[in-house]
Amino acid sequence: MRHRYRTVQADGLPREPRRAAARPGPRTAWGRVPSLIAACLALLVAVLAAGCTAAGDEDGGRSAVTQEASSSAAPDAGARVPDWAEGFVTLTVGELPGEARETLRLIDSEGPFPYEKDGSRFGNFEGLLPEQRRGYYREFTVPTPGERDRGARRIVTGDGGEIYYTDDHYETFKAVLR
């Protein structure tokens, strides 16, 4: 055990022991945390908290990207949005690109479809659409002008009459109202 003895100054008065200089900045269990890192962490926590509360608990696992308000694009301000379209941006058929309207016409008349994969099962592996049994959703290609392949645009239909449109290859979906 170490003992501290008071030392005496030349004038005979006791001298106070030296203390370590105070360190600037906060002290934590991890040592000193630079204020820039602390500010970044606080910002990250705030953004995550805002994102979690914006998505809510009733979103069925859909991402915040698809959780935009749907009332601005609803066909009639007084019309009720169907349950399957809740939480999605909505479009009317008239707001779709012409190629998408033509694809809907082909779907209604049951073909013939220009692409072999049209009408195939859509797996919803992204989890952005409401969860349903396997085989519930079907996908159809919406031709993209200037593309040599199928492009990124699709219409996905559900067995219950749902219609979803994506123009970014399943990154986001919009509910199409008739």
Q: Enumerate domains of the chain plus CATH numbers.
A: 64-177 (3.10.450.30)
pLDDT of residue 16: 59
What digits encode the pLDDT tens for the residues 137-153? Answer: 999 999 988 888 888 99
Average pLDDT over residues 36-45: 59
Considering the candidates 58, 68, 131, 169, report the single residue annotated as catalytic. Answer: 169
pLDDT of residue 77: 55
- 3 flagged as catalytic: no
pLDDT of residue 19: 56
Residue 130 has pLDDT above 80, yes or no: yes
- 169 flagged as catalytic: yes
Residue 157 has pLDDT above 80, yes or no: yes
| H/E stretch holding 39 | helix 35-55
Distance separating alpha carbons of residues 154 and 163, to the nearest angstrom: 10
Query: CA geometry: angle at 66 spanning 73 and 126, to 5°?
Result: 140
Residue 72 — pLDDT band, cuts 50, 70, 90? very low
Residue 28 has pLDDT above 80, yes or no: no
Considering the candidates 95, 139, 162, 171, report the single residue annotated as catalytic. Answer: 139
Q: Are 85 and 69 in contact (CB under 8 A)?
A: no
pLDDT of residue 80: 80
Instruction: Answer with the residue of higher pLDDT: 60 or 23.
Output: 23
Neighbours of 66 (CB within 10 A): 22
